[in-house]
Amino acid sequence: MRSFEVKNRTSTDEIKSLRLITAIKTPYLPDGRFDLEAYDALVNMQIENGADGVIVGGTTGEGQLMSWDEHIMLIGHTINCFGTSIKVIGNTGSNSTREAIHATEQGFAVGMHAALHINPYYGKTSLEGLISHFKCVLPMGPTIIYNVPSRTGQDIPPTVIHSLSSNPNLAGIKECMGHNRIQTYTQTNITTWSGNDDECHDSRWDHGATGVISVASNLVPGLMQELMFEGKNLSLNLKLLPLMKWLFCEPNPIGLNTALAQLGVVRPIFRLPYVPLPLEKRVEFVEIVKGIGRENFIGEKDVQVLDDDEFILVGRY
């Protein structure tokens, strides 16, 4: 089902060169549908502040809470509106090989530049099964493989990556297992992005990572751009660490969702099972913003502490 129209072609090398990729937040309307106006604004702020790519419907963007038609629609929308300004990487991975095949085929058909693929979480499989899974989707286009054992319950070991690395579509690895693992790859010329904001500075400048696939850049894209492009900067990294720690005090994107709502750039709406951070953490966020400087965060409204009853949680949508 491949298309060879020019607009669909992005080379794997272009993907390999991206340094700041934002795992973009998906904002919602009160009935739980996507808030595309808010989404467009978020993407535009990423472009203006120097991000080179976005992951659409990653775990941060809550792809796991989307139906596949919503997910592919959002990829198609992003490509259509922003595809000439930023690289659009669709999270078309799944723990079901069938779904990964179907979604990846559709994602490339609507023009996404690359796919992000997770190993089969929850259901898991053998190493041989992992390889078979990735081999079903790699032929379709530029691909980033994502390793995050704290979510998947299963590490993708380097042997698996090495057995796939001769495929010209393998752009690289989003790796959450730390500097040593990253170095294992970068020493053998496998492009690697840090999947941990709090480690990305050191991974980038000391361990060969090309850049980061970031959550924090949803909030402070300009500073994250500086961190990834402008050379080693220990003081900036230090300045950002409290924000990064705060963001991950509960499973992501709980912190991010809370933060964006308090910055006034998205409506305070959560799709369950996500719920906002408690009041004391919401107060803490306002202090962190003040510490780093409101002007470094996206949006133009004052940051505020939202009350419990300002949040809307949706289960049916």
For 175, phi then psi, to 5°, come to -120, 130
Q: According to the 3-state scheme, what is the secondary structure of 263-311?
A: CCCCCCEEECCCCCCCHHHHHHHHHHHHHHCHHHCCCCCCCCCCCHHHC
310 binding its own copies? (CB under 8 A): no
Residues in contact with its own copies, counted by CB under 8 A, come to a total of: 77
Q: Which is nearer to its own copies, 195 or 208 (CB)?
A: 195
Among residues 121, 205, 248, 311, the one that binds its own copies under rule CB under 8 A: 121
Phi/psi of residue 128, each to 5°?
Answer: -65, -35
Q: Which of 122, 174, 232, 274 is catalytic?
A: 174
Binding-site member from 21, 23, 55, 65 for its own copies (CB under 8 A): 65
Residue 70 CA to residue 56 CA, distance in Å, equals 11
Give yes or no for residue 64 binding its own copies (CB under 8 A): yes
Q: What is the CB-side half-sphere exposure of residue 158 using CA atoms within 13 A?
A: 14
CB 81, min distance to its own copies, A = 4
Residue 167 lies near its own copies (rule: CB under 8 A): no
Which 195-254 residues touch its own copies, going by CB under 8 A?
250-251, 254
Instruction: Using the minimum distance from each CB to its own copies, give the nearer residue, 95 or 233.
Output: 95
Which residue has 């696939």 as its token pair? 213
Distance CA 237, CA 254 (A): 22
Sole window of 96-104, 159-167, 183-191, 210-218 interacting with its own copies (rule: CB under 8 A): 96-104
How far is CA 131 from each of CA 108, 136, 159, 294, rounded to the nearest angstrom?
A: 21, 9, 10, 45
297 token code pair: 């965060």
Residue from 146, 185, 245, 317 carrying the catalytic annotation:
146
User: Smaller CB distance to its own copies: residue 101 or 236?
Assistant: 101
Applying CB under 8 A, does 316 fall inside the site for its own copies?
yes
Pick out residues in 253-292 that bind its own copies (CB under 8 A): 254, 271-275, 277-278
Residue 174 bears catalytic tag? yes
Task: Count other Cβ atoms within 10 Å, centred on residue 308.
Answer: 9
Strands 20-23 and 269-271: unpaired
Active site residue 16: no
Nearer to its own copies, 22 or 154 (CB): 154
Q: What positions carry a catalytic annotation?
A: 146, 174
